[in-house]
A and B are shown apart, each in its own frame.
Chain A
Amino acid sequence: MTVAAHGRGGWLRDSGIGTQAGTLMIALFLAPALLGLVAFRLVPIAIALVGSLFGETLAGDLVWRGLGNFERLLGDPNVWHSVRVTLLFNLLINPLQVLIAFGLALLVLRPAPGIGLFRAAFFLPMTLSIGLTAMLWDILLNQHVGPVNALIAQLGFARQGFFHDENQALATMIVIASWKGCGYWMIFLLAGLAAIPEELHEAARIDGASAWQRLRYVTLPLMRRPLAFVLVADTAANFVFFAPVFILTSGGPNGATDLLMFRAYETAFTFGDWGRSLALSTIILLIVAAIAAVELRLLRDDGTQAG
């Protein structure tokens, strides 16, 4: 048959890969993406790494600090508090978002009348800017004039502080971040689910597998790669979660939402200490890299993948 005759090897031969011209062509096609990667990822990382070793005098002269910025950060109990809050935030939000996104993807996978509307509705929050999202939820959850609290009061319960309550602020941040983010991650998982051949489910069904067994033994193993991508990307995104904290809580109440990214911003733009801020950014980068490595290892590809 035509497909078997060409196969992957045939396509490779036809493309000229392996020849000098073919290699040049590949390099040309990859160049824009690689240049973007270098300019917008590697160069800023290099700037952060180098900059974290320097400081600035009040008069603006650059001075070498070596590991001094890191020493100062590690000796500050408030930074450790910030690390704890950031880790707790990520420990809760990342699995939660992936779980909800996966659930939503399963819900809207099967073709049905109006399914496009549901998919769009789940994705819609992603189209709002994060600043607008923060303001919107601040109004909705306002303790005195917000409709959510009005409903709570109508039901006979005490009005809640949400962003302004030390015990609720972090959870509220997680809720609004998930409201905005889950639909986005759902799209990636939906693509992964759609790529699983229907025959596999069909075969499992004929063999008498229940819906749970099909999910556990067919869908999940084949979703490892998309799940790994979403988990790692989500982790990276949530470690630099910033705007709602900046707009609504400034790290409070009483440090409840004192995430590392906000602290890095505050250190640079309020306290004017660029070296210390870049050292914080470097610490965030190292934590994300370490966690991403663990996540990738846990969801390691065993060769049977969808997508």
Chain B
Amino acid sequence: MLERRTLLQGTTAALGAAGLAQPALAQGREVQVVWMGWPDGQVLPIMQEIERRNAGMRLRVERFPFGEIFQAIDVRLQARSPSPDIYIVDGPLTAYYAVRRHLAEIEPIIGREGMQRYAPSVIEQGSVGGRLMSLPLYTSSSVLFCNARLFRQAGIPIPSADPAKRMTWEETLELARRLTNPAAQTWGFVVDQADRPYSILPFAQSKGASMLSADGFTATGHVDSALFVEAMRWYGELYTRHRVSPPGLFDTALAREMFFSGRAAMFLAIDGIPALAGGRDLEWTATAHPYFAGGRAVTPTGSWHIGVNPRGTNRAMADAFIRSYANPEVVAMQTRVRGAPPTMPALWQTMAADYQGDFWALVKHEIETTGVPRPATPGFREYEDILRIAIREIVGGADAGPRLRRAAQDIDRELQKYRT
């Protein structure tokens, strides 16, 4: 016979177990995602679509600003934590995460057929030792946006979108001088990522400088070479000598706001700018990324990727997330809301209506002909951070020669560990 106390204990235990089981069940379906702090409209519709495609999946998305995201991800991964299940990966960082065993291989999740839908260049950026370790999300290019209104006010013809009529940096500087108006607080030339190698390396590459040794482990002789120093000195003087660019402006959001609000006449930025501009009162045009006279045209390219944490406790759902993200319909949706070039070549045709006009013709041309990815090295995180600080200081007035020599030494020291 069941005593009242036993019944009470049994009921309490059962209720307790049910209570415990609920979060456990929820945990099994919840996918923790660390993502870039892009605007809601570029993130939430896609996340909702993925939840819709996977019954019972709940996404917990944490978004970080560009300036904080890599450290936020690193702190968790280096603690060998099972969280997050999914995280965003800047393409060149794939090897950095892979050698630390922070990435699960992608091919077993999406299959060979799934991989073949992507452009070889983005597959290469997400691969380490021939294995795809991060799923391509976006690719990108960079063009020189112009504020047509400011050009007209200054009586300057608006540069052509034809890549054959690409301006040199010397010509661009001359225009920037004429377009800079301190009284109106208008700058002639603003860079979207003023201290990031993504935007700045093409200056040096245009002069013919190399970024890193062929094996990816030595910076001395490359980032402190005469050509590299010359290019960085020229870049720094835009801020210090010619004063056509706003010093100390390293926040991409602020730089974009400067262009959107009509305070930047020329804006060197990624191709997603028109989508970000939204309904702003801005009359923009685009021209090809400039190059140095006597040098060659080089544009940055590279892709954002998605990584799966191999220690995640929710691998089945994380894999389902990746499969959804590799679906061409989702890729098309994602590409459309972001206003980015597609990672799947077929989408240039199927989404032809979205890619009409001179601007997209220019972007496609740049990706296919002048685009150069950032250097391939497992130490890209260190390379980028050290170089970023050096670029900041050069923009602030430091002498490019000694500063880059110091940066090269620091990079060499940190890349040592990858040789073993």
Contact = CB atoms under 8 A, between A and B. Distances in A.
B393 A253 contact: yes
Contacts of B247: 143-144, 164
27 contacts: A58-B417, A59-B99, A60-B100, A78-B406, A78-B413, A142-B248, A143-B248, A164-B396, A165-B397, A166-B397, A166-B398, A250-B389, A250-B392, A252-B389, A252-B392, A252-B396, A252-B398, A253-B393, A253-B397, A253-B403, A254-B403, A269-B71, A270-B382, A270-B385, A272-B74, A272-B78, A272-B100
A142 B389 CA distance: 18
A200 to B, nearest CB: 54
A167 B305 CA distance: 42
Interface of B: 71, 74-75, 78, 80, 99-101, 246-248, 378, 381-382, 385, 389, 392-393, 396-399, 402-403, 406, 409-410, 413-414, 417-418
Query: By DSSP majority rule, is chain A's interface helix, strand, loop, or mixed?
Result: loop
Nearest to A161: B397
Given A254-B393, A254-B406, 5 more contacts: A58-B99, A165-B397, A252-B393, A270-B382, A272-B74
- Max chain A C-beta neighbours (<10 A), residue from B99, B101, B389: B389
B104 to A, nearest CB: 14
B305 to A, nearest CB: 20
Contacts of B99: 58-59
Contacts of A142: 248
Contacts of B385: 270
Closest 7 pairs between A and B when the two form their complex, measured CB to CB: A164-B396, A253-B393, A252-B393, A250-B389, A253-B398, A254-B398, A58-B99
Contacts of B100: 58-60, 272
Contacts of B80: 60
B71 A270 contact: yes
Contacts of B393: 164, 252-254
B235 to A, nearest CB: 16
Contacts of B78: 60, 272
A76 interface: yes
Contact of A271 (B75, B382, B392): B382
**Interface bracket on A:** 20 to 34
A259 B418 CA distance: 26
Contacts of B246: 144
Contacts of B417: 58, 273
A164 B248 CA distance: 9
Given A59-B101, A164-B248, A269-B71, A254 B402 contact: yes
A199 B100 CA distance: 70
A181 interface: no
A77 B393 CA distance: 20
Contacts of B414: 271
Contacts of A252: 389, 392-393, 396, 398
Nearest to A76: B413
A144 B392 CA distance: 16
A51 interface: no
Contacts of B389: 250-252
- Max chain B C-beta neighbours (<10 A), residue from A76, A143, A255, A272: A272
Contacts of A164: 247-248, 393, 396-397
A196 to B, nearest CB: 49
Contacts of B74: 269, 272
B399 A254 contact: yes
A232 B382 CA distance: 36
Contacts of A273: 417
Interface string A149-160: 000000000000
A253 B403 CA distance: 9
Interface string A55-87: 000111000000000000000111000000000
Nearest to B417: A58
Contacts of A254: 393, 398-399, 402-403, 406
Nearest to B382: A271
A89 B402 CA distance: 22
Contact of B418 (A58, A77, A270): A58
A158 B247 CA distance: 16
A207 to B, nearest CB: 59
- Max chain B C-beta neighbours (<10 A), residue from A77, A164, A273: A164
Contacts of A269: 71, 74-75
A142 B246 CA distance: 12
Contacts of B248: 142-144, 164
A251 B389 CA distance: 9
A58 B101 CA distance: 8
A78 B403 CA distance: 12
- Max chain B C-beta neighbours (<10 A), residue from A76, A77, A269, A271: A271
Nearest to A144: B247
A142 B393 CA distance: 15
Nearest to A255: B406
B396 A161 contact: yes
